Amino acid sequence: MSFDAFLAQAWNDHGDRPREVADRLASSLDVIAATENIPAFAHLATHVFGEHLGEWSRGVELLTSLRRLPAYDRAKSARSVDRGIAILRYSGGAGDALDALALEDRVSALATASGAFTGRGRFDRAIDAFTQALELGGAGLPAESPATRSLAVGGNSLAAALEGKKDRDPIETAAMVTAAEAGLTFWKQAGTWLEEERAEYRLARSLLQAGNAATARRSAERCLEICQRNDAPAFERFFAYAVLAFAQRASGDLDAFEAARREALQLFEQLPPDERQWCESDLKELGS
């Protein structure tokens, strides 16, 4: 199996079977045949052993072993491996693990660690890590910095997780909105219209959870505007109309809610079965 095929299969399987994928990674170092394979392998290993399993030490051991591979080139490979090790060590409780990293890598590491803490239900540490990442990133990041994407992903993930937290307290609610706003800010820099549109959806959702219906409605309207401007497929427009309907209902505009609801339901009918499964929660909330 080629490295690309191996990696694609591992990413496909890791959500449902993270331990199986972790074992596969640990026993398949021979699949790494070229120096350029190492950053992608290190990224996946950090994600699986960190966010999904919380097996910090085992992840560090695997990443450390990459340094002994024939394909390892310190000039080209060290940064990704060192960053992954630092993320796992920091997540495991080593407070000084990030000290040796350059600013961009420290921002990426903190944002990624926030995702790992979120995945383990440690929202206090997730919020703290993401707050630190924002403070460091606010000092200015170079154009096209990978840290920008890390902040976008981290903000979106943290906001989504906090939205679903049943016993969310006021501090967590404020952090949820901040994370969603950051996700939008950094996806505008690091992504395409698709990521920006989805970040507007996320922000509208977070604002609704925070009880701010008026601002949520404006974010939902921007989400729909982006879809219309870019001739988005029905799948994206379904979510745009759905979140607009939720914001209109929360604002007390029931006529507008019903109009947006009808649009969403009509779009849902256009979707193939493999896309409909992702719409179930919003569909239920629409009252269908």
Task: List domains and CATH numbers for the chain.
Answer: 192-288 (1.25.40.10)
Higher pLDDT, 213 or 142: 213
pLDDT over threshold 80, residue 139: no
Q: How confident is the model at residue 168 (pLDDT cuts 50, 70, 90)?
A: very high
Higher per-residue pLDDT: 74 or 210: 210
Question: 18: helix, coil or strand?
Answer: helix
pLDDT of residue 130: 98
Average confidence (pLDDT) over 202-231: 98
pLDDT above 90 covers a percentage of the chain that reads: 93
Name the token pair of 59: 């992840």
| pLDDT digit string, tens, across residues 238-288 | 999 999 999 999 999 999 999 999 999 999 999 999 999 999 999 999 996
Q: What local confidence, expressed as pLDDT, does residue 144 receive?
A: 82
Between CA 65 and CA 57 the distance in angstroms is 12
Nearest to 200, CA basis, from 152, 143, 233: 152
Amino acid at site 20: E
User: Is the separation of the CB atoms in 205 and 189 below 8 Å?
Assistant: no
| Residues 180 and 159: beta-carbon distance below 8 Å | yes
Percent of the chain with pLDDT over 70: 99
Please check whether residue 77 is in contact with residue 36, taking contact to mean a CB–CB distance below 8 angstroms: no
Q: What is the pLDDT of the chain when averaged over all its residues? A: 95
Mean pLDDT across 201-226? 98
CA distance 248 to 257: 5
Q: Which residue has the tokens 């009509």?
A: 266
Predicted local distance difference test score (pLDDT) of residue 214? 97
Q: Measuring CA to CA, how many Å separate 248 from each of 7, 121, 204?
A: 43, 32, 11
pLDDT of 226 reads 98
Task: Name the one residue in this structure whose structure tokens are 């629409």.
Answer: 286
Which residues make Cβ contacts (< 8 Å) with residue 197, sequence separation at least 6? Answer: 223, 226, 227, 230, 232, 236, 240
d(CA 48, CA 14): 7
29 falls in which pLDDT band (50, 70, 90)?
very high
Residue at token pair 């990030």: 98
pLDDT higher than 80, residue 140: no
Contact 133, 111 (CB under 8 A): yes
Residue 288 has what pLDDT? Answer: 62
* Helix (H) or strand (E) segment spanning residue 92: none
269 near 280, Cβ under 8 Å?
no
Q: Where are the alpha helices (DSSP H) in 234-279?
A: 234-251, 254-268, 273-276
